Chains A and B, each alone.
Chain A
Amino acid sequence: MLNTLTLKQALDKLDKKEVTLSEINSDINKAIKEKNEELNVYLTLNDIAVTNTEEKSSLAGLPIAVKDNYCTRDLRTTASSTVLDNFVPQYDSTVIKNLRKAGGHIIGKTNLDAWAHGSSTETSQYGRTLNPRNTGHLPGGSSGGSAAAVAADLCIASLGTETAGSIRQPSSWCGVVGLKPTYGRCSRYGVIAMASSTDSPGPITKTVEDAAIMLNHIAGHDQYDGTTTTKEVPDFTSFLDQDLKGMKIGVVYTNIEGLEEIKDTFLEQIKVFEKLGATVEIVEAMDPHHAIGVYTIIQRGEVSSNLGRFDGIRYGNDRSFFGHEAKNRIMLGTYTLSKGYADQYYNTAQKVRTLFIKDYKKLFKEYDVLISPTSPGFAKKIGVSESSAMFGELEDMLLEPSSIAGLPGISVPCYRDQETNLYLGLNIVAPMFREDLVIKAGDAFEKNTKWNSWRNK
């Protein structure tokens, strides 16, 4: 089955003419037909035919799944909210433009928590996605559809977006690789805004190698996004297969309440880093619980402003189509930005955010990268998010500090429970614009452990 090829494998096989693009597409389409209805991964499939072109391009026309909050020209984009039920963008987001230019083919738009609000896909107004590893469980979110599309081999690679965990947490739950680039590394232009000050587009893939290839094609300065960096984009694949000798790794959050279930397993799995020549130390970091408050206030505030444009005058459906979660967030954000409260909430949150940034600066003087579990546990059972208003924030707690600090991070599978077939993820965080370090450490971990299901079939 050619749909199970990694991006790198597919590119190699196409290059050597061992397979054709149409053979790969046909297997992908078959898999979609078999599984999409049950898993609810794709909200919209792109029926524009790809010609099996002889013309060489970097991504060779391979099918890429795209989270449905990226604006795609002439292809319906809903952000999983019925407010945008029939919204067909007039333009491509910059990342999509870059992807198309590199020869990537958008095979379809994947499910997410509506407006990316959530960590389960259960707030999607088009129904939840199921975890392909165990369909009684959730895929995580908000990029749950993209993570599930990769896990179920319904695409070769995919794109997600992360505001605070939305790439890495579903990647952890689905047993795939999720790379959240530095804020400003990939353009946000054309990504339906959630929390503008932390939104980061990034790849969700089968391997770290694939993530590096994808990042090569989507990263870079964009004249349409004033928050993108003008720093040069390195060849991220050049950081693969590197020696970890001398790398200093700090392990954070091991003593956090709620991690008891997985702590020992996690510490056991990261021993491999020492074998690979790195030094590993457990280190104290600022309590991630504070990040929940900071993130909740900043994100709700920005959401309340960003969603204002869906006022019923354009885009077909009016405000009554907003779901419960979005309404919740709009109201909280409106309150925290109101006169007399902005100082108490929004401005205070920004100050605490600065404290996290300072804490990271201090830690990165001692360590090259910081690692922790991606999520406090395995994928939760379906329906569980519905009774917890702060579900996402608790699930993403370990990722929120690095998100609000704008840092790059990667989640790679670091354990599989044989009984449930569910995964744990290892989160690696590095200083701003040091994606090279997370790729280097993640790739070494992946290649020297047995947890990547594509490398260890």
Chain B
Amino acid sequence: MSESCKYHLVCGMEVHAELKTNSKMFCGCKNDPFGAEKPNSHTCPVCLGMPGALPVANKKAIEWTIKLGLALNCKINLFSKFDRKNYFYPDLPKAYQISQYDIPFCYEGVIETSHGPIRITRIHLEEDTGKLLHKEIKGEDVSLIDYNRSSVPLIEIVTEPDIKSPEQAEEYGRALRDIIRYLDIGNCDMEQGGMRLEANISLQENGKEGLPNYKTEVKNINSFKFAKQAIEFEMERQEEILEEGNIPKQETRGWDAKKSVTFSQRTKEDAEDYRYFPDPDLPPIRFTTEQIEKIRKDIPKLPHVLVKEWKENYGVEERYSSILFNSPSEAKWLEELFVLSKKEGLKANKLVGAMVNKNVKYNFTDKVESVINEFKKLNKTDDVSDDDLIKIIDNVIKANADTVARYKAGEKQLINFFFGQTMKALGKKVDGGLLRKLLTQQLDK
């Protein structure tokens, strides 16, 4: 879209993520569709939708959904239920998907991005479908169905149309993935389909209030980069249509990653009526505030909170701390490290700098004491007396009279030159702060 554009992006996202519970959402089958040794090996009458089979909800999956909701500042419905979403597709053995219609577990949350906050409309829990494989076998086109993924717990996170740029959409996706992984409730493997993105995209004329009178939905996006590209593509496509005085069609589009284009899949006219109704096989679910608070207590401090705290308490810069850890246990280890480094009078920021730059080798299984020792060794200074040091400094000053003159004329940054020269002449490690102090003292004489 051109810089002089008179439109701005209005975009909301729907993200699906599989939960990594041991068993599936509504039966006891192993939840490991990617690790299965054979197609249809992790199946039973329930996830195959056999006549008479009944679902029983996975408690852990429900708790994890609420956990994510709480982490994203959502409100929790104390009364909730599962509904049937009826539609025909070969990968859906019961001809309905058990989902949540009007009372999702979580609603009205918010997630922060560097481009501003994005409100979360709702998070609900449902079951994944089977997987269709279209193949040619003995010269014949066939479609195969693998139900290993059928009834794997799947959460859907829906945002308000708060996303203002393709970059923000990409950042949102990554942030969400990071939180789900950090909570240890999902792997979010994009390539395997463990996390899937959809974006509702439209353009509004600058200065106009409210939502545009159309939107297109782009489905089947399986990377954050593609989400950004798809939105960029749609913005250009829609701008062209709007500039011609037309309104883009209300439709569902797919993303062709090879060609980097979106393409029409379904228009509104044949939008489906899912005939939602409460699933009579699953009793409604009621929570007490105590139960919710118990789940809340189990939520670890999220990375962005920790990063902020560490900056305040230990002076650790975000550029270091944000890349150092991926799990609550790693965060806990770092916290211990910072506490000890403070106690030892060491600068935590220098320590993590050395860790990031691999000058200090470490492992999260190491004792924090040994890492501290490693760091101390690296920074150990040789014993040089102040008098000896001043002698060497004076020699450097004598040997570089021209530079001293420039220094005195105001080029104060030349202090670094003297610093380097002194260190070279010294051939030993000394405290940088002390050296700098003495250098200034001698130069200013």
Q: Is B402 an interface residue (CB 8 A)?
A: no
Chain A residues closer than 8 Å to B53, beta-carbon distance: 91, 189-190
Question: A91-B45, A305-B84, A308-B88 are contacts. A71–B52 as well, Cβ < 8 Å?
Answer: yes
Tell me whether B283 and A196 are in contact (CB under 8 A).
Answer: no
Contact flags (1/0) for A177-202 with B, using CB distance below 8 Å?
A: 00000000000111111011100000
**Is B410 close to A, CB under 8 A?**
no
- Contact of A226 with B96 at beta-carbon distance under 8 Å, contacts A89-B51, A305-B275, A338-B275 already known: no
Q: Are B51 and A84 in contact (CB under 8 A)?
A: yes
Contact across chains for B51 and A79 when beta carbons are under 8 A apart:
yes
B425 CB–A CB distance under 8 Å:
no
Structural contact, B51 and A334, CB atoms closer than 8 A? no
Knowing A226-B281, A338-B275 are in contact, say whether A313-B86 is a contact too (CB < 8 A): no
Q: How large is the interface on B (under 10, 10 to 19, 20 to 34, 35 or more residues)?
A: 20 to 34
B52 and A93 contact, CB distance less than 8 A: yes
Q: A304-B275, A308-B86 are in contact. Are A227 and B281 (CB under 8 A)?
A: yes
Q: Which of A70, A227, A311 contacts B95 (CB 8 A)?
A: A311
Chain B neighbourhood of A79, CB < 8 A: 51
Asked whether A90 lies within 8 Å of B45 as measured between CB atoms, the reply is: yes
Per-residue CB contact flags for chain B residues 44-66 toward chain A (1 = under 8 Å, else 0) read 01100111111111000000000
Which of A189, A191, A305, A315 lies in contact with B86, CB distance below 8 A?
A: A305
Question: Is B51's CB under 8 angstroms from A338's CB?
Answer: no
| A337 in contact with B54 (CB, 8 Å) | no
**B276 contacts the other chain (CB 8 A):** yes
* In the complex, B90 has a CB within 8 A of chain A: yes
**Which of these, A192, A315, A337, contacts B275 with CB under 8 Å?**
A337
Question: Contact between B56 and A224 (Cβ–Cβ < 8 Å)?
Answer: yes
Alpha-carbon distance between A190 and B88 when the two chains are bound, in angstroms: 22
Residues of A within 8 A of B88 (CB): 308, 311
B360 at the interface (CB under 8 A from A): no
A91 close to B84 (CB less than 8 A)? no
Interchain CA distance A337-B85 in the complex, whole Å: 11
B35 proximal to A (CB < 8 A): no
Report A202-246 CB contacts with B as 1/0, cut-off 8 Å.
000000000000000000000111110000000000000000000
Does A309 touch B at the CB level, under 8 Å? Answer: yes
Interface residue B277 (Cβ < 8 Å from any Cβ of A)? yes
Say yes or no for B303: interface residue by CB 8 A criterion: no
B337 to chain A, nearest CB (A): 46
For A93, A309, A346, the residue with the greatest tally of chain B CB atoms inside 10 Å of its CB is: A309
> Are A226 and B277 in touch, CB under 8 angstroms?
no
Q: Could you tell me the distance in whole angstroms from the C-beta of B57 to the nearest C-beta in chain A?
A: 7
CA distance A425 to B279 in the complex (A): 34
Determine whether the beta carbon of B45 is less than 8 Å from that of A188: no
Q: Tell me which residues from 3 to 58 in chain A have a Cβ below 8 Å from any Cβ of chain B.
A: none
Given A305-B96, A313-B90, is A338 in contact with B54 using a C-beta cutoff of 8 Å? no
A197 to chain B, nearest CB (A): 4
Q: Output the nearest chain B residue to A346 by Cβ-Cβ distance.
A: B277
> Does B210 reach chain A (CB closer than 8 Å)?
no
**With a CB–CB cut-off of 8 A, which chain B residues contact A308?**
86, 88, 94-96
For residue B273, CB closer than 8 A to chain A, the reply is yes
Q: Does A122 have its Cβ within 8 Å of any Cβ on chain B?
A: no
Contacting pair A196 B280 (CB below 8 A): yes
Best-buried of B56, B280, B283 by chain A (most CB within 10 Å): B280
Check A342 for interface membership: any CB of B closer than 8 A: yes
Q: How far is the CA of A301 from the CA of B51 in the complex (A)?
A: 17
Contact A77 B277 (CB under 8 A): no
Residues of B within 8 A of A311 (CB): 88, 90, 95
Kindly identify, within residues 277 to 302 of chain B, every residue whose CB is under 8 Å from any CB belonging to chain A: 277, 279-283
Interchain CB contact under 8 A, B52 and A192: yes
Contact mask A61-89 → B, CB, 8 Å, 1/0? 00000000111000001010000100101
Least CB separation from A189: chain B residue: B54
Q: In the complex where A90-B45, A196-B281, A305-B96 touch, is A71 in contact with B50 (Cβ < 8 A)?
A: yes
Count of A-B contacts with CB under 8 A? 101
In the complex, which of the residues B50, B57, B279 contacts A91, with contact meaning CB atoms closer than 8 Å?
Answer: B50
Neighbouring B residues of A93 by C-beta, 8 Å: 52
Query: Is B109 interfacial (CB-CB < 8 Å)?
Result: no
Chain B residues near A314: list those with CB within 8 A.
93
- Determine if A435 is an interface residue (Cβ-Cβ < 8 Å): no
The docked-state distance in angstroms from the alpha carbon of A93 to that of B281 is 15
Interface assignment of A339: CB less than 8 Å from any CB of chain B: yes
| Bound CA–CA A41/B83 (angstroms) | 38
Closest to A314 in B: B93
Which residue of the partner chain A has the closest CB to B49? A309
Q: Are A226 and B282 in contact (CB under 8 A)?
A: yes
Q: Which of B57, B95, B145, B273 is the one whose CB lies under 8 Å from A338?
A: B273
- Kindly list chain A residues whose C-beta atoms are within 8 Å of the C-beta of B94: 308-309
A302 within 8 A of B: yes
- When chains A and B are docked, how far (Å) is the Cα of A286 from the Cα of B86? 34
With a cutoff of 8 Å between Cβ atoms, the chain B residues found around residue A191 in the complex are 52
Q: Report whether B280 and A302 are in contact in the complex, using a CB–CB cutoff of 8 Å.
A: yes
Contact status A309-B95, CB under 8 Å: yes
A197 touches B280 (CB 8 A): yes
Option from A224, A305, A339, A342 in Cβ contact (under 8 Å) with B54: A224
Q: Residue among A84, A308, A315 with the most chain B CB within 10 A?
A: A308
Residue pair A301, B277 in contact (C-beta under 8 Å) = yes
Check B52–A227 contact: CB distance below 8 A. Answer: no
Give every chain A residue within 8 A of B275 (Cβ-Cβ): 304-305, 334, 337-339, 342
B276: chain A residues within 8 A (beta carbon): 337, 342
Query: Which of A79, A224, A338 gathers most chain B CB within 10 Å?
Result: A224
Whether the Cβ atoms of A226 and B49 lie closer than 8 Å is no
Q: How far is the CB of A230 from chain B (nearest CB, A)?
A: 12
What residues on A are CB-neighbors of B52 within 8 Å?
69-71, 89, 93, 188-193
Q: Mark A297-331, 1 if CB is under 8 A from B, else 0.
A: 00001101100111101110000000000000000
Q: How far is the CA of A69 from the CA of B52 in the complex (A)?
A: 8
List 17 additional A-B contacts (Cβ < 8 Å) besides A79-B51, A301-B277, A339-B273: A71-B50, A71-B51, A71-B52, A190-B52, A196-B281, A197-B280, A225-B56, A227-B54, A227-B283, A305-B275, A309-B93, A314-B93, A337-B275, A337-B276, A339-B275, A342-B275, A342-B276
Could you write out 15 A-B pairs with CB less than 8 Å apart?
A71-B45, A87-B51, A90-B50, A93-B52, A188-B52, A191-B52, A197-B280, A305-B275, A308-B96, A309-B49, A310-B51, A313-B145, A314-B93, A337-B277, A339-B273
